[in-house]
Amino acid sequence: MARPGHARNRPSLEEDEEDEDPVDAMISRTGCMAQHRQLQECMAARQDWRHCQPQVRAFGDCMARRQRAEE
C-alpha cells in the first residue's frame, strides 16, 4: 500500500509552466531580474557564491536602490 501523499495528483507540465515562481514574481517587480538571472547563471556554473561576488554585489545594489526608492 502506498504511503499517504504519494497518490496526489501532480500538475501537468503545461500547468506547472504557467505557475510563476513567487520569488521570481517578486524580483521581477523590483526591476532587478537581469541581475538576479546573472547571479543564478554564475551560481549554476561555479557552484560557489564566493566566485560570483560581482553578480552578488550587482544584485544587492539593485535591490538596495529599489528599497531606497520606496522609502
pLDDT number for residue 13: 47
Residues with Cβ within 8 Å of 56's Cβ and at least 6 positions away in sequence, in order, are 39, 49
Kindly report the pTM of this predicted structure: 0.67
3-class SS shares of the chain: helix, strand, coil, % to 5: 70, 0, 30
Digit-by-digit pLDDT tens for the chain (71 residues) are 455 554 555 454 444 456 778 988 999 999 999 999 999 999 999 999 999 999 999 999 999 999 898 88
CA angle 49, 58, 46 (to 5 degrees): 25
- Give the count of alpha carbons within 13 A of 7, CB side only: 4
Q: Hey, where are the domains in the chain?
A: 30-70
